[in-house]
Structure 1
Amino acid sequence: MRTQTCCEVSPAAVAPDELGHLDVLESEAIHIMREVAGQFERPVLLFSGGKGSLVMLHLALKAFRPAPMPFRLLHLDTGHNFPEVMAHRDAIVEHHRLDLSVVPVREYADADPLRERPAGSRDPLRTFPLADVLRRGRHNAALEGTRGDADTGRAGPRVFSPRGESRPEHHEQRPELWSLYNSRHRAGEHMRVLPLAHWTELDVWHYVDREGIELPDVYYAHERRVVPRADRWLAAGDHAPRGSEPVEKRLVRYRTVGDMSCTEAVESAAVTVTEVIDEITSLRTGEPGSTRADARWPAAGVETREREAYFS
Structure 2
Amino acid sequence: MTAPSFSQLDALEAEAIHIVREVVAQMERPALLFSGGKDSIVLLHIALKAFAPAKVPMPLVHVDTGHNFPEVIEYRDRVVEEHGLNLVVGSVQEAIERGFVREEPNGSRNRIQTPVLLDTIEKNRFDACMGGARRDEEKARAKERVFSFRDEFGQWDPRNQRPELWSLYNGRVHQGESIRVFPLSNWTELDIWDYIRSREIAVPSIYMAHERDVFHRNGMWMAANEFCTPREDEMIERRTVRYRTVGDATLTAAVLSEADTVEKIIDETASTRLTERGATRGDDRVSEAAMEDRKKEGYF
Q: Is this a same-fold pair by TM over 0.5?
A: yes
> Where does structure 1 lack aligned partners over 5 or more consecutive residues?
1-14
Structure 1 counterpart of 2:127, from 140, 155, 166: 140
Is 1:97 the counterpart of 2:84? The answer is: yes
Q: Cα offset for 1:300?
A: 9.0
Q: Cα offset for 1:156?
A: 4.1
Superposition map of 1:292-307 within 5 A: 292-298=281-287, 301-307=290-296
> Equivalent residue of 2:111, what SS?
helix
Alignment CA distance shift 1:300-1:153 (3 Å): closer
Q: Cα offset for 1:17?
A: 5.6
Is 1:213 the counterpart of 2:201? The answer is: yes
| CA–CA separation in structure 1 for the residues paired with 2:4 and 2:17 | 18
Aligned to 1:164: 151
Q: Cα offset for 1:195?
A: 0.5
Is 1:282 the counterpart of 2:271? The answer is: yes
Q: Cα offset for 1:224?
A: 0.6
Q: Cα offset for 1:168?
A: 2.7
Aligned to 2:214: 226
Q: Are the aligned partners of 2:37 and 2:246 in contact in 1 as well (CA < 8 Å)?
A: yes
Per-residue CA deviation, residues 221-273 of structure 1 (Å, 9 max, x unaligned), is 00011121143211111233243232111100000011111100000000111
Q: Cα offset for 1:152?
A: 2.5
Aligned AA (2:201) = I
Superposition map of 1:54-93 within 5 A: 54-93=41-80
Structure 1 stretch displaced more, 114-123 or 140-149: 114-123
Per-residue CA deviation, residues 85-128 of structure 1 (Å, 9 max, x unaligned), is 11111111111111111221122223233221222221221111
> Equivalent residue of 1:148, what SS?
coil
Aligned AA (1:210) = S
- The structure 1 segments of at least 4 consecutive aligned residues displaced by more than 6 Å after TM superposition are none
Q: Cα offset for 1:129?
A: 1.0
Q: Are the aligned partners of 1:44 and 1:71 in contact in 2 as well (CA < 8 Å)?
A: yes
Q: Are the aligned partners of 1:77 and 1:103 in contact in 2 as well (CA < 8 Å)?
A: yes
| CA–CA separation in structure 1 for the residues paired with 2:128 and 2:3 | 31
Alignment: residue pair count: 297
Per-residue CA deviation, residues 271-292 of structure 1 (Å, 9 max, x unaligned), is 1111001011111111111010
Aligned to 1:8: none
Is 1:197 the counterpart of 2:168? The answer is: no
TM-score by length of structure 2 reads 0.94
Alignment CA distance shift 1:240-1:154 (3 Å): closer
Q: Are the aligned partners of 1:93 and 1:99 in contact in 2 as well (CA < 8 Å)?
A: yes
Structure 1 stretch displaced more, 74-83 or 164-173: 164-173
Q: Cα offset for 1:31?
A: 0.5
Q: What's the C-alpha RMSD, in Å, of the aligned pairs?
A: 1.7
Aligned to 1:269: 258
| CA–CA separation in structure 2 for the residues paired with 1:302 and 1:151 | 8
Identity of aligned residues (%): 50
Alignment CA distance shift 1:43-1:154 (3 Å): closer
Per-residue CA deviation, residues 183-235 of structure 1 (Å, 9 max, x unaligned), is 11112211101001111100100000100000001101000111211432111
> Where does structure 2 lack aligned partners over 5 or more consecutive residues?
none
Alignment CA distance shift 1:95-1:69 (3 Å): same
Aligned AA (2:217) = R
> Equivalent residue of 1:251, what SS?
strand
TM-score by length of structure 1 reads 0.91
Aligned to 1:258: 247
Q: Are the aligned partners of 1:36 and 1:141 in contact in 2 as well (CA < 8 Å)?
A: yes
Is 1:247 the counterpart of 2:236? The answer is: yes
Aligned to 1:178: 166
Q: Are the aligned partners of 1:227 and 1:240 in contact in 2 as well (CA < 8 Å)?
A: no
